Amino acid sequence: MTAKLNVLRYVLGAAMLGLWRNRTMTLGAVVTTAVMLVTLAAFLAINDTLNEMVTALGRKSNLIAYVRDDARPSRVTEIMQDLEQRPGVGEVVFVTKEDALRIFQERFFDQRDVIDILQANPLPASVELRMDDPAVLPALADELRGMTGVFESVAVPLDVVERLVSISNVSRAAGTAMIVALTAVALFVIANTIRIAVYARRQEIEIMKLVGATDWFVRGPFIIEGAFIGLVGATLAAVALVVMYLQVAPTITRLISFLPIATDVSFVRNLAVFIVLVGLVVGSIGSYVSVRRYLAV
């Protein structure tokens, strides 16, 4: 037990000494890790923002189902409750005939005479759907059109919806492909940097093995060094990411204020935690794998 504690103490000390005595290599590896992770994280943030934008556009595309005057209110309520449960449906709002008239009067206040000459309110009540996913709109519109006893007509901007759906699909597919590729490149570059650092010290590994060191005795300091490099590099990347996000997000929000994009601090915080974990794991595993090939002495 004492021997194991002594070895543990040695391994920790050797890791710290190794980092310091190979500081140029350490610095290079930390900077490479930071640059790769900040690039990856920035892309993840941009991709998330683009997806948010597409979703926000989707929310702007509504379906309006005009309710027949003779429709049973209980039936309308029932349908609305059902619609609220449907996937892709964000919000279901009932606009009464009175509301419709008020909105008309507000929007067309210079044409009030048109309404005034009528004895009764000609505008129908309606059920408005605000969508989370515009892709489900066409099918939903068809379904509501089939309820002829409840709805007079159903209005849906199909051309806009189709375009939005295709933009959304392309954007998500391209984003996913880029994320996969960029993640692979980032992991490869970080792991390779660590491999080069280990390669430069392969003779150390061989010597330690020849004087009777166990594999874990040799590997321990390298894994700690790799974890340290990954952790520090990733932390620098996370800090850079948070600073950039806090600086850039308000500008984006201002520039495209017509879209309700949330500058979500929790998203960037989660992303920062994620890349720190990635750095830590890739650093340790990268070292473990790199050292392994030189242990067979």
Partner 1 sequence: MQGVTKSYDGEPALADVSIAIARGEFAFLIGTNGAGKTTLLRILLREEPFDSGVVLVNGVDVSRIRGAALTKFRRRIGVVFQDTRLLPNATVRENVGLPLQVRGRANREIDVAVDDVLGRVALSDKGERFPRQLSGGEQRKVALARAVISKPDVLLCDEPTDSINPAHAREIIGLLLDINSEGVTTLVATHDSEIVNNLRRRVIRMDAGTILADEAVGVFNTS
CB 231 within 8 A of CB 280: yes
C-alpha 32/C-alpha 185 separation (Å) is 12
Cβ closer to partner 1: 2 or 247? 2
Options 40, 131, 208, 223; binder of partner 1; rule CB under 8 A: 208
**In the complex, minimum distance from the CB of residue 227 to partner 1, in angstroms, rounded to a whole number:** 20
The answer to whether residue 24 forms part of the interface with partner 1 (CB under 8 A) is no
Nearest distance from C-beta of residue 217 to partner 1, angstroms? 5
Across 77-107, b (16+ Cβ under 10 Å) vs e yields: eebeeebeeeeebeebeebebeebeeebeee
Is residue 87 near partner 1 by the rule CB under 8 A? no
Query: Could you say whether residue 210 binds partner 1 (CB under 8 A)?
Result: yes
Question: How far is C-alpha 82 from the chain's CA centre?
Answer: 30
Residue 42: phi, psi to the nearest 5?
-60, -40
Q: Least Å distance between CB 290 and partner 1?
A: 17
User: Is residue 9 part of the contact set for partner 1 (CB under 8 A)?
Assistant: yes
Minimal distance, residue 214 CB to partner 1, in Å: 5
Shortest separation between residue 198's beta carbon and partner 1, angstroms: 14
# of chain residues touching partner 1 (CB under 8 A)? 26
CB of 296 to partner 1, least distance (A): 11
Q: Write the single-letter amino acid at 153.
A: S
Q: How far apart are CA 123 and CA 121, in angstroms?
A: 6
Q: Which is nearer to partner 1, 56 or 213 (CB)?
A: 213
Q: Which stretch binds partner 1 (CB under 8 A): 4-12, 90-98, 121-129, 240-248?
A: 4-12
Vertex 233: Cα angle to 227 and 238 (nearest 5): 120
Residue among 22 and 253 whose Cβ is closer to partner 1: 22
Contact flag: residue 162 with partner 1 (CB under 8 A): no
Task: Name the segment binding partner 1 (CB under 8 A); options: 18-26, 33-41, 134-142, 240-248.
Answer: 18-26
Q: Which of 81, 111, 169, 214 binds partner 1 (CB under 8 A)?
A: 214
Q: What interhelical angle do 137-145 and 158-200 show, nearest 10?
A: 150
- DSSP H helices, the chain, are 2-21, 23-60, 73-85, 97-107, 112-116, 137-145, 158-200, 202-210, 215-255, 265-292
Q: Smaller CB distance to partner 1: residue 128 or 206?
A: 206
Q: How far apart are the first and last CA of the chain?
A: 27
User: Is residue 117 within the footprint of partner 1 (CB under 8 A)?
Assistant: no
196 binds partner 1 (CB under 8 A): no
- Tokens for 209? 């093995």
When the beta carbons of 5 and 255 are compared against partner 1, the nearer one is 5
**127 φψ region: left (φ > 0), alpha (ψ -120 to 50), beta (else):** beta
For residue 25, state whether it binds partner 1 (rule: CB under 8 A). Answer: no
Pair 90, 131: CB distance under 8 Å: yes
Beta carbon of residue 289, minimum distance to partner 1 (angstroms, whole number) = 19
Q: Which residues sit at the interface with partner 1, rule CB under 8 A?
A: 2-7, 9-10, 17-18, 21-22, 201, 203-204, 206-214, 217, 297
